[in-house]
């Protein structure tokens, strides 16, 4: 059994789609990044990589590599799942949080959980996602960016 944790932060900008947990969320801004900038999946991916003792997301999916330009983070999660299986692990559980002032996450959390569970070949009850606001404080509260944190428990397969 191994535990990994991670945090990811991306800036909100005009002209980009907002994608979290593989779900396109209608909003006037999206997240800036080399890939689709899915901050939730990036935190989960890096927590899995960390639990395996394999470094960080940048080691495996560098933002300097053109093959990852604009890539769906769901594909990166699939590749991370394959790495996890090759290391003889399976998901015990994932607990993640999204910190954003807007938009509201509640209507989208079920779809996020289902996407992640399907990609990680685990029961949806093993995936928990919460959301909180910045209460008008800091860059999250001012609507400048979104933060996500994740903790992952891996079990021997």
Give the tens place of pLDDT for each residue, 34-85: 999 999 999 999 999 999 999 999 999 999 999 999 999 999 999 999 999 9
In whole angstroms, give the CA distance from residue 23 to residue 21. Answer: 5
Domain total in the chain: 1
Which two tokens mark 117?
Answer: 């569970």
CATH code where residue 70 lies:
3.30.1330.50
- pTM of this prediction exceeds 0.85: yes
Contact 113, 21 (CB under 8 A): yes
Q: Which residues are annotated as a binding site?
A: 8-10, 34-35, 42, 56-58, 61-65, 139, 142
Binding residues for a divalent metal cation: 8, 10, 42
Domain hosting 115: range is 1-154
Q: What is the pLDDT of residues 104-113, one digit of tens each?
A: 999 999 999 9
Angle formed at CA 77 by CA 123 and CA 59, multiple of 5 degrees:
140
């Amino acid at each position: 059994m191994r535990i990994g944790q991670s945090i990811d932060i991306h800036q909100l900008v005009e002209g980009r789609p907002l994608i979290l947990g593989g779900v396109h969320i209608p909003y006037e801004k999206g997240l800036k990044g080399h890939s689709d900038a899915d901050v939730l999946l990036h935190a989960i991916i890096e927590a899995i990589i960390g639990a395996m003792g394999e470094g960080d997301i940048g080691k495996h999916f560098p933002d300097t590599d053109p093959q990852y330009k604009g890539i769906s983070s769901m594909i990166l999660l699939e590749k991370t799942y394959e790495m996890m299986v090759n290391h003889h692990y399976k998901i015990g559980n994932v607990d993640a949080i999204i910190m954003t002032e807007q938009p509201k996450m509640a209507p989208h959390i079920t779809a996020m959980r289902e996407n992640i569970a399907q990609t990680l070949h685990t029961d949806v009850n093993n995936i928990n996602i919460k959301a909180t606001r910045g209460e008008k404080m800091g860059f999250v509260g001012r609507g400048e960016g979104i933060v996500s944190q994740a903790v992952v428990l891996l079990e021997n397969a």
